């Protein structure tokens, strides 16, 4: 029973690990941009930017690339992959 | 953006055709079939009313969309916003999880089948329309839940 609980918790942690932490909010604040402005520039909606910032949704590779490119940074500088690397 | 503009023009054309077809059916059923509904049961009357109501709703809905698309096409910023909204990956993912376009296609086919089947037996009409309402309701609830979740 204990091992079942262990695997369940591990699976949940792994699932949460898919939701990446980002520095979008900080980068946006530096440039005094609103979420709507960033969304317009990278071709998405304000709600999606909100979800990515609050770690409810993980951006696809294409969107992550667009966001990183817009800020003039590498993807790993904008998105924190440490949770994925630990798996 | 030019491709998206062409897509919108195509959609406006298709919706205009659908509106014309709906108006023809409405005129045909209210002017030519003037005795429709006379001496019929409540269910049969309701079936004709449902069909006409659906057509009126379709005309109204498509007209709203045509006005919206025309407005968007004249403003480049609004066009870009509409394009972003339509191609937003999060929305597309949620739409797919809630059944995607399949639910809409299924509902349209079932509605058509229900109206036609209703002329043979009114129980078919009620059953199929009930299925459509339930299916759309489930899809809408899932969509709302996922919009909150993600």
In sequence order, what DSSP letters do the residues of B104-139 get, joined into one string? HHHHHHHHHHHHHHHTT-HHHHHHHHHHHHHHHHHH
User: Containing H/E element for B13?
Assistant: helix B2-27
CB contact under 8 A, B88 and A57: no
State the pLDDT confidence band at A44, using cuts at 50, 70 and 90.
very high
Residues in B touching A47 (Cβ below 8 Å): 88, 90
Residue B27, pLDDT > 70, answer yes
Contacts of B95 in chain A (CB under 8 A): none
pLDDT of residue A8 exceeding 70, the answer is no
Residues B142/B99, Cβ–Cβ less than 8 Å? yes
Q: Rounded to whole angstroms, what are the CA distances from B115 to B48, B50, B128, B137?
A: 9, 9, 9, 20
Write the residue in A40, A51, A59 that is nearest to B81 by C-beta: A40
Span B67-117, pLDDT tens digits: 999 999 988 899 999 999 999 999 999 999 998 889 999 999 999 999 888
Pick from A9, A33, A22, A13: nearest CA to A55: A22
Are A23 and A78 within 8 A, CB to CB? yes
Mean pLDDT of B35-42: 64
Closest-CA distance of chain B to residue A87, Å: 23
Q: pLDDT tens across A54-76, in order?
A: 988 888 999 999 999 999 999 98
| Under 8 Å between Cβ of B140 and B129 | no
Whether A34 has a pLDDT exceeding 90, the answer reads: yes
pTM, full prediction: 0.76
- Looking at residue B15, its pLDDT comes to 95
pLDDT of residue B39: 60
Residue window 19-78, chain A: list those with CB within 8 Å of chain B: 39-40, 43-45, 47-48, 51, 56-57, 59-60, 62-63
Q: What are phi and psi of B64, to 5 degrees?
A: -60, -45
Residue with more model confidence, B41 or B67: B67
Please tell me the distance from the alpha carbon of residue B29 to that of residue B45, in angstroms, as a whole number: 13
d(CA B55, CA B19): 9
Residue B68 in contact with partner chain A when CB distance is under 8 A: no
């Amino acid at each position: 029973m204990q091992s079942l609980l262990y695997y369940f918790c591990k699976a949940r942690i792994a699932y949460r690990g898919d939701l990446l932490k980002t520095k979008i909010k900080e980068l946006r604040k530096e440039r005094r941009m609103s979420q709507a402005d960033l969304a317009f520039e990278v071709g998405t909606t304000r709600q999606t930017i909100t979800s990515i910032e609050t770690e409810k949704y993980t951006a696809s590779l294409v969107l992550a690339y667009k966001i990183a490119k817009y800020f003039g940074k590498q993807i790993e500088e904008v998105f924190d992959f440490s949770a994925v690397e630990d798996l | 953006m030019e491709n998206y503009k062409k897509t919108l023009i195509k959609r406006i054309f298709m919706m205009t055709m659908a509106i014309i077809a709906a108006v023809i059916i409405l005129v045909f059923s209210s002017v030519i079939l003037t005795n429709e509904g006379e001496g019929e049961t409540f269910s049969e009357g309701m079936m004709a009313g449902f069909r006409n109501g659906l057509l009126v709703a379709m005309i109204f809905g498509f007209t709203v969309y045509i006005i919206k698309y025309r407005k968007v096409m004249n403003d480049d910023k609004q066009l870009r916003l509409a394009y972003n909204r339509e191609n937003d990956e999060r929305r597309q993912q949620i739409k797919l999880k809630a059944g995607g376009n399949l639910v809409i296609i299924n509902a349209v086919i079932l509605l058509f089948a229900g109206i036609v089947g209703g002329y043979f037996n009114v129980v078919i009409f009620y059953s199929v329309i009930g299925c459509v309402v339930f299916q759309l309701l489930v899809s809408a609830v899932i969509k709302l839940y996922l919009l909150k979740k993600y």
